[in-house]
Amino acid sequence: MAEEAGASAAPVGGDGKMTMVVGVDESEHSYYALQWTLLHFFSPGQVQLYRLVVVTAKPTAASAVGLAGPGAADVLPMVEADLKRSSLRVIGKAKELCAQVSDAVFEVVEGDARNVLCEAVERHHAEMLVVGNHGYGAIKRAVLGSVSDYCTHHAHCTVMIVKKPKHKH
Amino acid sequence: MEPERAVASSGPPGDGGAEASRGMAGAATMTKVVVAVDASEESLHALSWALDHVVRHHPGASLVVVHAQHPADHFVYPVAAHGLAYIPPTAMESMKKTQEENTRKVVARALEVCAQRQVTAKATVVEGDPKEAICQAVEDMHADLLVLGSRGLGMIKRALLGSVSDYLAHHASCPVLIVKPPKAHTKGTGNST
């Protein structure tokens, strides 16, 4: 189920450009990754070799909350509305950041981030996927799972991982 | 080495922290791209991919090819896909020579790939555990981007499959670009990471 929040046409660019998918979520790390990408690949003076597709995953209410029992049916719509608002906010902020990119596509796709990003790569025939990472240590990654690790291994294209530096030098 | 300020700043340059305000280190141009190579085809493919998709896009960028050589006193070597054998000290000399020869070949091949695309590149050889050595080199060189192939960056392929790229993706001091092998090779072998 994909809703295209941005105005755009068919996935294949008729202008011979390659496609780059950037995954964003609410974290500062992913906005940093988006900004880094814009700075180095989409800055106004440069020839744009890539078409930009910004994707955010909206988890389903059921997966986010995991409720069962009485009362679940009442809570789910609220959680759903909240999640939807949250993803629209993410995409809104991404749109602001990408103001100077002429033909960027913005998508909110429902599902788990891992699958959403890999599937977006397939759908757009992207040559590159860009993600930030939360800078979790090994244990946290094992417990919480790492979207960037998953994408590195499963996406069918080159993956660029942009980390927010811990300290400025 | 200061990257040249592409944007003319109006006003006194007294505020040295102007760049930091953006949160991005250095100017907007990508000045240094580091590509890790070894004897594998995947890393050479990664180098070619980086040249075609990134370096081409940033004409001012300098490219450095990094090869991590296992330390000379490494007295085990892999046999077949996942065996290990210990070698006697007497054979160390010849092994060291072979290793240096291999390093030369790897570096020469990488530089040739760059030259084919009219890109002059520098080469660096680092010693020690590949992931830590490359990580350190990237930091020392203040690289803007590190490029790796997705597998094959270690001699003991099965055991370390993908772990060098995982390590660097999480520890390198700059963004990391991981290039997959061309599609023809990935499917069908059943070897998914």
Q: What is the pTM of this model?
A: 0.75
Q: Report the C-alpha dihedral over residues B137, A34, B25, A29, rounded to 10 degrees.
A: -80
A26-76 pLDDT, tens digit per residue, is 888 889 999 999 998 888 877 788 899 999 999 887 776 666 666 667 788
Residues of A with a Cβ under 8 Å from any B Cβ are 18, 32-33, 35-36, 39-41, 43, 46-47, 49, 127-128, 133, 135, 141, 148-149, 152-153, 155-163, 165, 168-169
The strand pair at B176-179 and A158-163 is best described as antiparallel
A126-168 pLDDT, tens digit per residue, is 999 999 987 666 666 666 668 888 888 888 899 999 988 765 4
What is the rounded average pLDDT of the residues B163-185? 82
Q: How far apart are CA A82 and CA A88, in angstroms?
A: 10
* ipTM field: 0.77
E strand map for chain A: 2-4, 18-24, 50-58, 105-110, 128-133, 158-163
Q: What is the pLDDT of residue B77?
A: 64
Q: Which two tokens stand for residue A72?
A: 């679940």
Asked if residues A60 and A111 have their Cβ atoms less than 8 Å apart, the reply is yes
CA distance B23 to chain A (A): 8
CA geometry: angle at B113 spanning A154 and A15, to 5°? Answer: 60
Q: Which residues of B touch A156 (CB under 8 A)?
A: 180, 183, 186
B49-59 pLDDT, tens digit per residue, is 999 988 888 87
Mean residue pLDDT across chain B: 75
Q: How far apart are CA B5 and CA B151, in angstroms?
A: 37
Q: What is the pLDDT of residue B151?
A: 67
B182 band by pLDDT with thresholds 50, 70 and 90: confident
Q: What is the pLDDT of residue A7?
A: 40
Asked if residues B124 and B67 have their Cβ atoms less than 8 Å apart, the reply is yes
* Residue at A117: amino acid letter: L
CA distance B61 to chain A (A): 11
B184 band by pLDDT with thresholds 50, 70 and 90: low
Q: What is the pLDDT of residue B165?
A: 81
Strands of B121-127's sheet in order across: A2-4, A105-110, A50-58, A18-24, A128-133, A158-163, B176-179, B145-149, B32-37, B62-69, B121-127
Q: What is the pLDDT of residue A11?
A: 43
Answer whether B25 sits within 8 Å of A165, measured CB to CB. Answer: yes
Q: Say which residue, A95 or A133, is predicted with more confidence.
A: A95
Residue B128 has pLDDT above 80, yes or no: yes
Q: Which residues of A touch B24 (CB under 8 A)?
A: 35-36, 39
Q: What is the pLDDT of residue B158?
A: 42
Q: What is the pLDDT of residue B189?
A: 43
